[in-house]
A and B are shown apart, each in its own frame.
Chain A
């Protein structure tokens, strides 16, 4: 193909993308830039006349606050723990869905049920299940634990809720990756004497690498923005506050647009950083794949 044709094709490609790009700019770029702009002001929605430019003071205020760092740590704990568990469980579910011989559609559909349930409903259901008075978890385990009143047990309930709710999503993405693994390769490995574990770790997993990374990226970004589960179950009490709840308090409860926007922008930066980390990880893995 000539470079000239490439260029015109590229131009045509951009032209085709334009409507989508414009729509994206309208619904994402504008609010993001507006939040950036607002974050430079001391601006209370109740007293718009007192709005004043304060430069980066809001960022300084957020970044020197213990609340921000504590909530960031909480968010990372929830993100890492829930995504790690989801990856393992999701992989197991994907293998089951891939191998199942009968009722394949029923199995795949039923696995999706938790994902179809509204997060607030799921969070309430788990909250009730762990309630010391009305819940069934304590009698099952023979415990008398007020789960949501202590930090670590509250984290446990929040993480379990997240895992229960989003493992199906992980499993579906991984299933898509599994179906891409050519049966020939697995058969060849079997002929060469590889056992099931070796076939999985040496053949299936490396071939699924990009599917796994995509699944991890999606889930990590999603988990990092966790709001509803925590809001319903603890309202951020017991040291389980996440960055989204901190932003919500500043923006919606306190109507402090400047400070709240600064929090939103910082969350956005964190999300970009996570995405960059993964995308970089991709390139490395692609290059390695092509070399071998």
Chain B
């Protein structure tokens, strides 16, 4: 009897063991012990974010895992999805890849957690001041500066012997080049138009808001910024499609070879090298043109900071993970693979980073003087007010529109009226 029974029970045991082995990875190894942190961030195509978070999770020794929750590429749509979830107190949001313009809004609504002072100090360490400022609101740090970005002037070295110093200079040069002189900029009615205006205004010595958060819009600088926008749009050197041009239209047009100048972010460099090597060969870079000679331009800063969702189930772990992902190693990954410029100043001396960004010194110098977009919880309203008032650039009336702009921004700051 026993001898007959044994094989059966052995088989049974094997089957159970095999079944259990199949089930194991699904339930008992990963799940309940290892908390999973969800990182909501735009869908980064190179996989640098996934790799950075994987390395941090490994280094955490099983303290947490990070799961990426991809958001749309468009910043407006990222924000739309996030604010709807945050308004509904979604506890699935642990880490947020925050566009620099959301800091004040998310902080004021208490949808993200402020960084405790000791960890904030560590997160500020060695970072470019403008990047730290972009994550700061009312004296507190609300996110770890991760990647940054700003526009440079890209030009054709085979057509232009020296880069233009000022906007007037550039438009003159472009007009004298004729057909091929076209300047590529962003004139569609969207955030990019606000960025364009803020850069021009800051370069002219003005600002949208004053220290107290009220509308500043100093008349002199505003008129100068509007004059240049009007001049660009009315010039034969502007692209016919300026009124609907975003960064990508500008990039594509420049890569097709018919343009000599472009204001755009650093991603155009790797793109031109792979899509249009003939153009890339003659592609030079320079500081964004100044408004007046002798006063260096101040260009709007962009990029992503890592904040911790206020309704997260694991805020301490999320803070730890955010600090780790935004550390030097994470930044280096994002720079080398994703082409996203780092926020730690010293990384601009790193050999590998310099190979990715041959213009690293220019970029760091531009970032050191960078301008912030208005820091107000109503940023979105203010930005809509600006882009709606100024679009289309070709119909700007520098005197009348300065007043319309002041009124529109005032209404936006009071949450009044349609925009």
Q: Which residues of A contact B (CB under 8 A)?
A: 42, 44-47, 61-62, 64-65, 67-68, 132-133, 144, 146, 148-150, 234-238, 246, 249-250, 252-256, 259, 263
Binds A, one of B171-179, B218-226, B297-305, B410-418: B410-418
Q: Are A237 and B108 in contact (CB under 8 A)?
A: no
Given known contacts A47-B108, A149-B244, A235-B189, is B384 in contact with A61 (CB within 8 Å)? no
Give min CB distance, A186 to chain B, whole Å: 52
Q: Are B243 and A149 in contact (CB under 8 A)?
A: yes
Q: Are B377 and A146 in contact (CB under 8 A)?
A: no
Given A253-B80, A256-B381, 19 more pairs with CB closer than 8 A? A46-B87, A46-B109, A46-B111, A47-B377, A62-B418, A64-B417, A67-B417, A67-B419, A132-B240, A146-B240, A146-B241, A149-B241, A150-B243, A235-B190, A237-B188, A238-B392, A249-B419, A252-B80, A252-B84
- Determine the chain A residues whose CB is within 8 A of the CB of B241 once the complex forms: 132, 146, 149
Give min CB distance, A160 to chain B, whole Å: 18
Q: Are A65 and B243 in contact (CB under 8 A)?
A: no
Q: Are B252 and A133 in contact (CB under 8 A)?
A: yes
- Distance of A280 Cα from B18 Cα, bound (Å): 75
B368 interface residue per 8 A CB criterion: no
- Distance of A249 Cα from B418 Cα, bound (Å): 9
Give min CB distance, B401 to chain A, whole Å: 14
- Can you show 8 pairs from A to B with CB atoms below 8 A apart? A46-B109, A47-B108, A61-B418, A237-B189, A237-B190, A237-B243, A250-B418, A255-B83
B105 interface residue per 8 A CB criterion: yes
Give the interface residue-count category, chain B. 20 to 34
B76 interface residue per 8 A CB criterion: yes
- Determine the chain A residues whose CB is within 8 A of the CB of B105 once the complex forms: 46
In chain A, what residue has the closest Cβ to B252?
A: A133
In chain B, what residue has the closest Cβ to A70?
A: B418
Q: Are A246 and B87 in contact (CB under 8 A)?
A: no
In chain B, what residue has the closest Cβ to A134?
A: B252
- Determine the chain B residues whose CB is within 8 A of the CB of A148 once the complex forms: 244
Give min CB distance, A242 to chain B, whole Å: 13
- Distance of A3 Cα from B237 Cα, bound (Å): 82
- Determine the chain B residues whose CB is within 8 A of the CB of A249 once the complex forms: 384, 418-419
Contact of B417 among A65, A133, A255 (CB under 8 A): A65
In chain B, what residue has the closest Cβ to A45?
A: B87
Contact of B418 among A150, A255, A259 (CB under 8 A): A259
In chain B, what residue has the closest Cβ to A146?
A: B241
Q: Are A68 and B418 in contact (CB under 8 A)?
A: yes
- Determine the chain A residues whose CB is within 8 A of the CB of B380 once the complex forms: 253-254
In chain B, what residue has the closest Cβ to A237?
A: B189
Contact of B244 among A62, A237, A246, A259 (CB under 8 A): A237
- Distance of A250 Cα from B388 Cα, bound (Å): 14
Give min CB distance, A50 to chain B, whole Å: 10
B391 interface residue per 8 A CB criterion: yes
- Determine the chain B residues whose CB is within 8 A of the CB of A237 once the complex forms: 188-190, 243-244, 391
Given known contacts A238-B392, A256-B415, is B384 in contact with A47 (CB within 8 Å)? no
- Determine the chain A residues whose CB is within 8 A of the CB of B381 once the complex forms: 254, 256
Q: Are A61 and B243 in contact (CB under 8 A)?
A: no
In chain A, what residue has the closest Cβ to B88?
A: A45
Given known contacts A237-B244, A249-B384, is B377 in contact with A46 (CB within 8 Å)? yes
Give min CB distance, B26 to chain A, whole Å: 36
Given known contacts A67-B419, A254-B381, is B189 in contact with A47 (CB within 8 Å)? no
Closest 4 CB pairs of A and B: A46-B109, A237-B189, A67-B418, A149-B244
- Distance of A46 Cα from B252 Cα, bound (Å): 38
Give min CB distance, A146 to chain B, whole Å: 5
- Distance of A2 Cα from B301 Cα, bound (Å): 81
Given known contacts A47-B108, A235-B189, A238-B392, is B244 in contact with A146 (CB within 8 Å)? yes
- Determine the chain B residues whose CB is within 8 A of the CB of A236 once the complex forms: 189
A interface footprint on B17-55 (CB within 8 Å = 1, 0 otherwise): 000000000000000000000000000000000000000
A interface footprint on B89-111 (CB within 8 Å = 1, 0 otherwise): 00000000000000001001101
Given known contacts A46-B377, A252-B80, is B109 in contact with A61 (CB within 8 Å)? no
Question: Most A CB atoms within 10 A — which of B242, B377, B415?
Answer: B415
- Distance of A133 Cα from B248 Cα, bound (Å): 13
Q: Are B109 and A47 in contact (CB under 8 A)?
A: yes
- Distance of A62 Cα from B416 Cα, bound (Å): 9
Q: Are A44 and B415 in contact (CB under 8 A)?
A: yes
Contact of B76 among A61, A246, A253 (CB under 8 A): A253
- Determine the chain B residues whose CB is within 8 A of the CB of A254 once the complex forms: 380-381, 384, 415, 419
Contact of B415 among A42, A133, A238, A263 (CB under 8 A): A42
Given known contacts A253-B384, A254-B419, A259-B418, is B243 in contact with A238 (CB within 8 Å)? yes
- Distance of A237 Cα from B191 Cα, bound (Å): 13
Give min CB distance, B30 to chain A, whole Å: 36
Give min CB distance, B234 to chain A, whole Å: 15
Q: Are A61 and B391 in contact (CB under 8 A)?
A: no
- Distance of A142 Cα from B417 Cα, bound (Å): 44
Give min CB distance, B81 to chain A, whole Å: 10
Give min CB distance, B409 to chain A, whole Å: 14
- Determine the chain B residues whose CB is within 8 A of the CB of A65 once the complex forms: 417-418
Q: Are A61 and B419 in contact (CB under 8 A)?
A: no
